[in-house]
């Protein structure tokens, strides 16, 4: 019996030994698994944002439905939450610093590291039921990791053990991801700075340009630019900064706005200052005209009166642009065009003018703001005349074609030198001008006016004999609600 | 028919004087608002044509000073305001006096001249002032 007892004791001891060996073996396998999972996690996470999703995919956490990674960069007033909830997917939210600190302390002080939603009642976190959480401290960051099954079952020992043994190894992963994150941010910021550098800048690899900043991209011709500075970045890669002082190309929004409002003020002042003396001139010339006996003198004074009227009209037109005064009235199209041509008489002296109406619009009446339409046509005709004059075109001709194709089209063309395609893109930008004395406002103002009439004004790229602009105006139906 | 014109743009002032005189009116002119006020208080006019923006003061100042002599009703009959600055605020203020307002430049010269010459009841006003 004794021997049997001894025997069984021996067996029991052996069994115990074997069991402990097998336990150790299990443990080793367990650790091995964790190590694999960790490696997998490091490979799968391509950024801090994807961490919650990849973390929940780990073996052993399959029953968990949500994961929140809350990161507070020290010094910030807010913490970033990267959330992943099964079925809902990923989302980013923000937690204010007080809530973060409260949660952080609750987790830090807790011994069993198991929590339920009653502990975080007032926090803006989508957590249901019990959850596991762990806090991490990095030199620049405080981090909270939370996972939950979204139920009220108390986590069992194995789960707790898995979560905490595993999460204790996460610190280097967080460190790596956050370092990468801040490095990315630095690069983005740096690229932004390069783009916004206030001088044209390009980076070359040998002879090839591999980077152009914003100003450089806008330049039409960079070969003529003077090099301000150039330096070697790396083997065969060098950056070049160019001289840049062309004011015309450097119209930032504020600068532009200032010019426009200054111009508005200027026009207003001019109107006030000029309309009185012009009125006086008009009145007095009429008196003189009526008293003149010599027919030649009479005609001369008559011309003065006409010029005065034209000046008044121009001032009126320019100040109309800045007012919302919009009177529409029924007028004959032909009369409008004739009037515009009469106004441009002196500019178009010596230039042949032809007007062609298609049959259906010969007697057309329009409900429009006369002044605007005349001003637009005046502008186009004067532009054409100036182009013809400066280019000294032989047999200069301005053609006005009018036709209807659902809308009304008025096309003003010349046989001058035309406009280069790349310049045509800038034509409607305020203050862009090709003329020495131009304001660069004629076309943008005209387009603005046409658009207020629900029409459009554009450059005709198809026309090759010179430059050509098309005014499109709506005609049929009575919906002319102009603003 | 006595008309006073207060206008600092001399070309307008002289032209209006000439045009009105041609139509039989007696016209006196001032470029300075302050001088005009003194004159208004001293002399009687059937019509006072007054520009709003003068170099020294405004037409409104002149009307306000004229209240020493005329009642509001009379001001509405005697005064004609001329203005080149028809901002809504200015127009609103001018309307408070209920007098004729002419925008410069005149859309219709004859209409403007007739408004200046079409004088009614002012004789009665002045007779009353003289008996007082």
A164-181 pLDDT, tens digit each: 877 778 888 888 888 888
Range of the domain at A59: 28-35+37-182
pLDDT bin (cut points 50, 70, 90) of residue B5 is very high
Cross-strand bridge partners of residue A469: A412, A459
A30 or A130, which is more confident?
A130
pLDDT bin (cut points 50, 70, 90) of residue B10 is very high
Q: Assess whether A339 and A450 both reside in one domain.
A: yes
Instruction: Determine the Cα–Cα distance for residues A211 and A216; give it in Å rounded to an integer.
Output: 10
Q: Which residue of A has its CA nearest to B16?
A: A283
Mutation test of the interface with chain A: which of B6, B12, B31, B52, choosing the one with the most A Cβ atoms within 10 A? B12
Q: Assess whether A233 and A357 both reside in one domain.
A: no
Give the residue from A405, A399, A403, A413 showing the smallest Cα distance to A357. Answer: A403
Q: Do A276 and B18 touch (CB under 8 A)?
A: no
pLDDT bin (cut points 50, 70, 90) of residue A438 is low
For the segment B54-65, the average pLDDT, to the nearest whole number, is: 91
Q: Which residue of B has its CA nearest to A308?
A: B105
Q: Can you give the pLDDT at residue A165? A: 78
Domain membership of residue A187 (yes or no) is no
Q: Which residue of A has its CA nearest to B12?
A: A280
Q: Which of A323, A353, A375 is the last residue before a domain boundary?
A: A323
Q: Assess whether A373 and A280 both reside in one domain.
A: no
pLDDT bin (cut points 50, 70, 90) of residue A482 is very low
Which positions in chain A touch B10 (Cβ < 8 Å)? Answer: 280
Instruction: Determine the Cα–Cα distance for residues A24 and A269; give it in Å rounded to an integer.
Output: 95
Q: Tokens at residue B63, please?
A: 């009307």
Q: Can you give the pLDDT at residue A248? A: 46
Which positions in chain B touch A280 (Cβ < 8 Å)? Answer: 9-12, 15
Instruction: Determine the Cα–Cα distance for residues A154 and A132; give it in Å rounded to an integer.
Output: 10
Q: Do A283 and B15 touch (CB under 8 A)?
A: yes
Q: Running DSSP on this structure, what letter comes out for residue A359?
A: G
Total domains present in chain A: 4
Instruction: Determine the Cα–Cα distance for residues A403 and A337; give it in Å rounded to an integer.
Output: 13
Q: Assess whether A106 and A221 both reside in one domain.
A: no
Q: Do A283 and B85 touch (CB under 8 A)?
A: no
Q: Do A275 and B104 touch (CB under 8 A)?
A: yes
In CATH, the architecture of B2-131 is: 3-Layer(aba) Sandwich (3.40)
Instruction: Determine the Cα–Cα distance for residues B74 and A395; give it in Å rounded to an integer.
Output: 67
Say if residues A202 and A209 touch (Cβ distance below 8 Å): yes
pLDDT bin (cut points 50, 70, 90) of residue B51 is very high
Q: Which of A272, A281, A312 sits opposite B11 (nearest CB)?
A: A281
pLDDT at A127 over 60: yes
- Among chain A, residues having any CB pair with chain B shorter than 8 Å are 272, 275-284, 286-287, 312
Q: Which residues contact B18 (CB under 8 A, 6 or more apart)?
A: A287
Q: Which of A279, A287, A312 sits opposite B18 (nearest CB)?
A: A287
Q: Which of A280, A286, A287 sits opposite B9 (nearest CB)?
A: A280
Instruction: Determine the Cα–Cα distance for residues A227 and B20; give it in Å rounded to an integer.
Output: 72
Instruction: Determine the Cα–Cα distance for residues A36 and A45; give it in Å rounded to an integer.
Output: 14
pLDDT bin (cut points 50, 70, 90) of residue A250 is very low
Q: Can you give the pLDDT at residue A281? A: 92
Q: Tokens at residue B6, please?
A: 């207060």
Least confident interval from A243-252, A374-383, B7-16, B35-44? A243-252
Instruction: Determine the Cα–Cα distance for residues A145 and A148; give it in Å rounded to an integer.
Output: 10
**b vs e for A263-299, b when ≥16 Cβ sit within 10 Å of the residue's Cβ?**
beeebeeebeeebbebbbbbbbbbbbbeeeeeeeeee
Which positions in chain A touch B9 (Cβ < 8 Å)? Answer: 276-277, 279-280
Which positions in chain B touch A283 (Cβ < 8 Å)? Answer: 11-12, 15-16, 19, 109
Q: Which residues contact B91 (CB under 8 A, 6 or more apart)?
A: B83, B101
Q: Assess whether A166 and A268 both reside in one domain.
A: no
List pLDDT tens digits, range A53-83: 888 887 777 788 888 889 998 888 888 888 8
Q: Running DSSP on this structure, what letter comes out for residue A343?
A: H
Q: Can you give the pLDDT at residue A249? A: 47
pLDDT at A193 over 80: yes
Ranges of each domain in chain B: 2-131
pLDDT bin (cut points 50, 70, 90) of residue A203 is confident
Q: Assess whether A425 and A466 both reside in one domain.
A: yes
For the segment A198-226, the average pLDDT, to the nearest whole number, is: 80
Q: Do A287 and B104 touch (CB under 8 A)?
A: no
Q: Do B105 and A275 touch (CB under 8 A)?
A: yes
Give the residue from A144, A58, A64, A130 showing the smallest Cα distance to A99. Answer: A144
Q: Assess whether A45 and A128 both reside in one domain.
A: yes
% pLDDT > 90, chain A: 6
Q: Can you give the pLDDT at residue A57? A: 81
Q: Can you give the pLDDT at residue A479? A: 42
The CATH number assigned to the domain holding A381 equals 3.30.565.10
pLDDT at B3 over 90: yes
- Say if strands A456-459 and A114-116 run parallel, antiparallel, or are unpaired: unpaired
Q: Which of A125, A148, A182 is the last residue before a domain boundary?
A: A182
Mutation test of the interface with chain B: which of A280, A282, A311, choosing the one with the most B Cβ atoms within 10 A? A280
Least confident interval from A38-42, A395-399, A425-429, B90-94? A38-42
pLDDT at A414 over 80: yes
Over chain A, what is the mean pLDDT? 80
End-to-end Cα distance, chain A: 115
pLDDT bin (cut points 50, 70, 90) of residue A272 is confident
Q: Is the bond leading into B105 cis (omega within 30 degrees of zero)?
A: yes
Q: Which residue of A has its CA nearest to B107?
A: A279
Q: Which of B9, B18, B109 sits opposite A277 (nearest CB)?
A: B9
Q: Assess whether A463 and A478 both reside in one domain.
A: yes
Q: Can you give the pLDDT at residue A11? A: 77
Q: Which residues contact A482 (CB under 8 A, 6 or more apart)?
A: A326, A328, A369, A452, A453, A454
Judge if ipTM > 0.85.
Answer: no
Q: Do A278 and B105 touch (CB under 8 A)?
A: yes
**b vs e for B74-104, b when ≥16 Cβ sit within 10 Å of the residue's Cβ?**
bbebbbbbbbbbeeeebeeebeebebbbbeb
Q: Assess whether A221 and A305 both reside in one domain.
A: no
Q: Name the CA dihedral angle for A211, A212, A213, A216, rounded to a multiple of 10 degrees.
A: 160
pLDDT at A30 over 80: no
Give the 3-state secondary structure percentages of chain B, helix then strand then coil, rounded to 5. 50, 20, 30
Instruction: Determine the Cα–Cα distance for residues B30 and B9; give it in Å rounded to an integer.
Output: 10
SS3 A393: coil
Instruction: Determine the Cα–Cα distance for residues A123 and A131; give it in Å rounded to an integer.
Output: 14
Q: Assess whether A341 and A286 both reside in one domain.
A: no
For the segment A292-303, the average pLDDT, to the nearest whole number, is: 88
Domain membership of residue A395 (yes or no) is yes
Instruction: Determine the Cα–Cα distance for residues A217 and A195; give it in Å rounded to an integer.
Output: 10
For the segment A419-437, the average pLDDT, to the nearest whole number, is: 73
Q: Assess whether A46 and A134 both reside in one domain.
A: yes
Q: Assess whether A296 and A361 both reside in one domain.
A: no
Q: Do A281 and B104 touch (CB under 8 A)?
A: no
The CATH number assigned to the domain holding A137 equals 3.30.450.40
Q: Which residue of A has its CA nearest to B14?
A: A284
Q: Do A283 and B9 touch (CB under 8 A)?
A: no
pLDDT bin (cut points 50, 70, 90) of residue A8 is confident
**B60 CA: distance to closest CA in chain A (Å):** 18
Q: Can you give the pLDDT at residue A107? A: 85
């Amino acid at each position: 019996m004794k021997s049997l007892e001894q025997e069984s004791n021996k067996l029991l001891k052996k069994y115990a030994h074997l069991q402990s060996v097998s336990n150790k073996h299990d443990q080793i396998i367990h650790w091995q698994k964790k190590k694999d999972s960790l490696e997998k996690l490091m490979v799968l996470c391509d950024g801090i944002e994807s961490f919650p999703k990849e973390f929940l995919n780990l073996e052993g956490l399959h029953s968990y439905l949500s994961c929140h990674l809350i990161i507070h960069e020290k010094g910030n007033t807010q913490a970033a939450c990267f959330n992943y909830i099964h079925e809902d997917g990923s989302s980013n939210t923000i937690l204010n610093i007080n809530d973060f600190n409260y949660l952080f302390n609750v987790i830090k002080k807790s011994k069993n590291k198991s929590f339920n939603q009653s502990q975080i009642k007032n926090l803006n976190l989508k957590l249901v039921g019990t959850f596991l959480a762990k806090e991490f401290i990095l030199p620049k960051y405080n981090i909270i990791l939370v996972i939950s099954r979204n139920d009220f079952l108390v986590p069992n020992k194995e789960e707790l053990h898995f979560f905490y043994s595993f999460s204790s190894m996460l610190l280097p992963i967080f460190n790596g991801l956050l370092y990468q994150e801040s490095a990315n941010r630095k690069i983005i910021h740096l690229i932004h700075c390069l783009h916004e550098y206030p001088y044209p800048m390009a980076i070359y690899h040998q002879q090839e340009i591999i980077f152009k900043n914003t100003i450089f991209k806008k330049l039409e011709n960079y070969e003529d630019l003077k090099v301000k500075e150039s330096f070697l970045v790396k083997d065969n890669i060098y950056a070049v900064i160019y001289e840049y002082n062309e004011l015309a190309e450097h119209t930032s929004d504020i600068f532009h706005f200032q010019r426009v409002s200054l111009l508005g003020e200027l026009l207003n002042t001019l109107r006030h200052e000029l309309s009185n003396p012009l009125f006086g001139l008009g009145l007095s010339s009429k008196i003189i005209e009526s008293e003149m006996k010599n027919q030649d003198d009479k005609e001369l004074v008559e011309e003065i009166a006409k010029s005065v009227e034209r000046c008044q009209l121009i001032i009126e037109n320019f100040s109309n642009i800045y007012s919302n005064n919009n009177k529409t009235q029924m007028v004959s199209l032909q009369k409008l065009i004739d009037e515009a041509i009469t106004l441009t008489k002196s500019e178009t002296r010596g230039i042949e003018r032809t007007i062609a109406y298609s049959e259906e619009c010969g007697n057309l009446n329009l409900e429009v703001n006369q002044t605007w339409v005349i001003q637009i046509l005046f502008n186009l005709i004067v532009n054409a005349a100036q182009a013809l004059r400066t280019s000294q075109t032989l047999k200069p001709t301005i053609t006005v074609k009018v036709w209807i194709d659902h809308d009304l089209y008025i096309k003003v063309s010349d046989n001058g030198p035309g406009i280069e395609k790349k310049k045509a893109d800038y034509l409607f930008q305020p203050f862009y001008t090709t003329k020495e004395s131009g304001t660069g406002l004629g076309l943008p103002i005209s387009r603005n006016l046409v658009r207020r009439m629900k029409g459009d004004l554009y450059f005709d790229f198809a026309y090759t004999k010179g430059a050509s602009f098309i005014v499109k105006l709506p005609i049929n139906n009575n919906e002319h609600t102009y603003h | 028919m006595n008309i006073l014109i207060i206008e600092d743009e001399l070309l307008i002032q002289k032209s209006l004087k000439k045009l009105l005189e041609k139509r039989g009116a007696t016209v006196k002119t001032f470029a300075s608002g302050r001088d005009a006020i003194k004159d208004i208080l001293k002399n009687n006019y059937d019509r006072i044509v007054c520009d709003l923006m003068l170099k020294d003061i405004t037409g409104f100042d002149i009307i306000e000073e004229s209240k020493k002599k005329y009642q509001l009703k009379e001001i509405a009959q005697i005064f004609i305001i001329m203005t080149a600055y028809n901002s809504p605020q200015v127009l609103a203020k001018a309307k408070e006096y209920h007098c004729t307002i002419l925008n410069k430049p005149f859309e219709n010269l004859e209409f403007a001249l007739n408004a200046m010459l079409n004088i009614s009841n002012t004789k009665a006003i002045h007779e009353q002032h003289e008996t007082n």
